[in-house]
Amino acid sequence: MFIGGLSWQTSPESLRDYFSKFGEITEVMVMKDPTTRRSRGFGFITFGDPSSVDKVLAQGTHELDGKKIDPKVAFPRRAHPKVSENIC
């Protein structure tokens, strides 16, 4: 899942702690700026069971570290090749 609207203070550990109530988490990433190492305000979570995603979406509003966060279904980039690469 894509998780948008994260607080600058949100760590991978706090993200895992929050979402683990919906199911087993196999991977957590908080994206950081490569130069400043500061959070970019979004991250990704991978659940072991896809039905956990439905549980997250069914809850509606989510709040973590004092901010309303925005979880969405994420699709791997490789599953969506750029159309422009195939145009002559």
Q: pTM for the full model?
A: 0.82
**Distance between CA atoms of residues 77 and 67, nearest Å:** 27
The sheet with strand 39-47 has its strands ordered as: 25-32, 39-47, 2-4, 67-72, 62-64
Minimal CA–CA distance to 56: which of 67, 65, 43, 69? 69
**Distance between CA atoms of residues 32 and 35, nearest Å:** 9
pLDDT tens for each residue of 29-76: 999 999 999 999 999 999 999 999 999 999 989 999 999 999 999 987
